[in-house]
Amino acid sequence: MRRSLGLVGWMLALMAVTAWGQQSVFEVGPGAQTGTFTFVDGSQFSVDGLHLSPTSTVTAPDTSLWGPSGILFPVTGTYTFPDRSILNSAGLAMSATSTLRGPDSSTWNSGGVTMAAGKQLSLANGSSAAPALSFSSQATAGLYREAADDLRLVLSGSIPALRAYKANASSGVTSVPLGASTGFAVIGGRVCTSTASAPTTGTTAEILASCPLPANALSIDGAGVKVKAWGTTAANGNNKTLRIDVGGSTCATLTAATNNGVLTVETTILRTGAATQECGGSGIASSGTVSATRAAPTEDTTLSMTVSAKGTTPTASGDFTFRGMTVELIN
């Protein structure tokens, strides 16, 4: 049953009139309010306010409706809150100093949305054409979820730019598109570098630079590292050796009697199992000496591994000086 606010005012005025020899049902005015007035539809008005019955509706002067389902504003209706925020058919427009607090205690104000501790901001999956996280100035550029544990960054609604996905139970992988094809290339990265000059100090093999690989760095088969090392030789005809080791295996080595020149070695080490690897390497000296090496290391990839650049100068110390090493990840 629909009731207007005008009717409510009329009824309140009626209650203020005192019958002959009797007290009014409801006292409204300077004194304390007492009693409860019950409308025909079962709604009640008392010191606690107006309580609508489940079937009643109040119509405001602007034709807004207030009933059990809430407030329904007409197209031209506007509700102004005490903090001057306004709510109408166009939505909620908050004032500069207002804060909207959600049921989970997250807040929304002029500074943006602040999620409460332990709460998440959830998005729909979206698609390449309509990414779930996009921009008001370009709705076709952004992030979307392609499948379980597979996130994509897209441009112009169809151009892939980046992919992050789960390779196995414990490893995430990031890849980039191969040109304009549908394929992706996994991104590697620099693990470590060394450019600290280090001459040999004896006549036996010694570590001149090293790079630790943390436990589980090579967590999937096919993952590996690419290593390159180089250095300079003394001005004599003595033999000098530069090599790259992983654990106890040599994956690249070069021996040359290069006089006042350069030795360079490099190798690729790939995981073939949790405790097996395959590596192949090569070396070249500025004097023209070349080499090729292959090995099958058996390092436990669940433990820390060390990649080392080693030098040997059997005739005299200082015949070889390490100059640099890089270790790059192959994911």
**What are the domain boundaries of the chain?**
2-72, 76-122, 133-186, 190-330
Q: In what order do the strands lie in the sheet with 78-80?
A: 78-80, 86-88, 91-93
Cα of 9 vs its chain's centroid, Å: 57
pLDDT of residue 56: 80
Using 50, 70 and 90 to split pLDDT, how confident is the model at 241?
A: very high
The more confident residue out of 181 and 279 is 279
- Residue 245 pLDDT greater than 90, yes or no: yes
- Smallest Cα–Cα separation from 189: which of 204, 205, 178, 175? 175
For residue 124, the tally of other CB atoms under 10 A from its CB is: 11
The more confident residue out of 8 and 237 is 237
pLDDT of residue 31: 54
Cα(24)–Cα(38) distance, integer angstroms: 14
Using 50, 70 and 90 to split pLDDT, how confident is the model at 71?
A: confident
Residue 8, SS3?
A: helix
- Residue 4 pLDDT greater than 80, yes or no: no
What architecture does CATH give domain 190-330?
Sandwich (2.60)
The more confident residue out of 99 and 228 is 228
Query: Which 3-state string (H, E, C) describes 272-300?
Result: EECCEEEEEEEEEECCCCEEEEEECCCCC
- Smallest Cα–Cα separation from 29: which of 43, 50, 13? 13
Whether the model clears a pTM of 0.75, i.e. scores above it, the answer is no
For residue 80, the tally of other CB atoms under 10 A from its CB is: 11
pLDDT of residue 49: 74
Cβ–Cβ < 8 Å for 321, 199: yes
Looking at every residue in the chain, the average pLDDT score rounds to: 86
pLDDT of residue 239: 98
**Least-confidence region, from 8-12, 30-34, 227-231, 325-329:** 8-12
